[in-house]
Amino acid sequence: MSAEASVPREEIPWYPKVNFNECIGCGQCVEFCHNDVYGWDEENNHPIVVNPHNCVVGCSACAKLCPQGAISFPSKEELLAAIRAARERHMAGNR
């Protein structure tokens, strides 16, 4: 069983963060992701993360294609630490 399999998705903090100072509103991230993670802020012409937990844990494809490098994710270490902490919370709760 993988580490994240025993932890509810909502407790895994893996989703994109957009730096609006860098984003140029090209929309490539929104077009690319088929999981409805992103919506679009018409007023400010940039993407917004509307369904963070639809993001596939470990995927960072949209960050790689962003021409501005405006999308970031936690580091692998941060991800693993968060999964470990969530697992420990659940194990403590199940005793």
Q: With contact defined as beta carbons under 8 Å apart, do 26 and 40 qualify?
A: no
Provide the token pair at 81.
């630490």
Q: Is 74 in the site for ligand SF4 (CB under 6 A)?
A: no
- At which residue do the structure tokens 């007023």 appear? 43
Contact between 57 and ligand SF4 per CB under 6 A:
no
Binding-site member from 7, 12, 55, 83 for ligand SF4 (CB under 6 A):
55
> What gap in Å lies between CA 57 and CA 9, rounded to an integer?
8
Binding site for ligand SF4 (CB under 6 A): 16, 18, 23-29, 32-33, 35, 37, 46-47, 55-56, 59-62, 66-68, 70-71
